[in-house]
Amino acid sequence: MTGYPIRDRLALVAGLLGPFLVALALVPFRTDLSRTNAALILVVVVVVVVAVAAIGSRTAGAVAALSAAAWFDFFLTRPYQTFDITASADIETAVLLLIVGLIVSQLAARARRLEAITVTDAGHLARIHETAELAQSAKSSDTVVDHVRRELTELLGLRGCRFEYGTLMGQPPRLEQDGNLAVGRRHRDLDASGWPDGEIELRTHRNGRYLGRFMLTPGPGPVPPLQARLVAVTLADQTGAALDTAGPVRDG
């Protein structure tokens, strides 16, 4: 668990211990409490833990569901203090408890992922909007180039990023408009193979004319998702609005 953030660790502990403590607290009442009502109480516990899991991790919800089913069996079904179940109805209740817990945990995890995507989208839109405004208002194209270079470094987790004006030299791997990477005439599967060694070019165009290129040096981290790569391409294209009036443009 040392590799988990603190909130994820707390969610995992809650998922493991929460159902255990509640099931233990129900032991004095197990002869008077129906199995269905006991299971419903544990479902509530699972839902509470899953609420934590929505902030923590998907794993916490699954652990809570497994823990609830196990301790329901151990403490609240005959024979007590064993993981054996003799009544078919109790087996069905335990299985349903597990299934409900797992389904709810998956829904919570999906909600958390969608929220993260929304936040990420908002950040990407802010980058694009800020760069577009700067391209229209900046008095020097160098200001826009430096701004986009910093944005690309942060967005793509680069070790380095520089800009080249002028004629294309060499044939380095190229980040294309669709966010894929072209190496020669082939496309590289970035998700499977990661970034290639060396620099990667990201060309800047304006009205179909080549203006220059950003030379990207990937960092040691994972390849950014397609969404981030598409934003990078958009930022490079916006640079063209400033470069178009910076001097002679060479076709590439």
| Residue 170: per-residue pLDDT | 83
- Give 35's DSSP letter: H
Burial grade of 180 (CB within 10 A; 0-12, 13-18, 19 or more):
middle
Whether residue 252 has pLDDT greater than 70: no
Nearest to 69 by CA among 60, 59, 77: 77
pTM for the full model? Answer: 0.54
71-125: per-residue pLDDT in tens? 988 998 888 889 888 788 888 888 888 888 777 777 766 666 566 566 678 888 8
Q: What is the tens place of the pLDDT at every residue in 131-177? A: 988 888 888 889 999 999 999 999 999 999 999 987 777 889 999 98
Distance between CA atoms of residues 202 and 213, nearest Å: 5
Q: What is the pLDDT of residues 15-67, one digit of tens each?
A: 888 889 998 999 998 888 887 888 888 888 877 766 655 555 567 777 888 88
Q: What is the pLDDT of residue 62?
A: 79
High-pLDDT (> 70) share of the chain, %: 85
Pairing of strands 200-206, 209-218: antiparallel
The predicted pLDDT at position 85 comes to 80
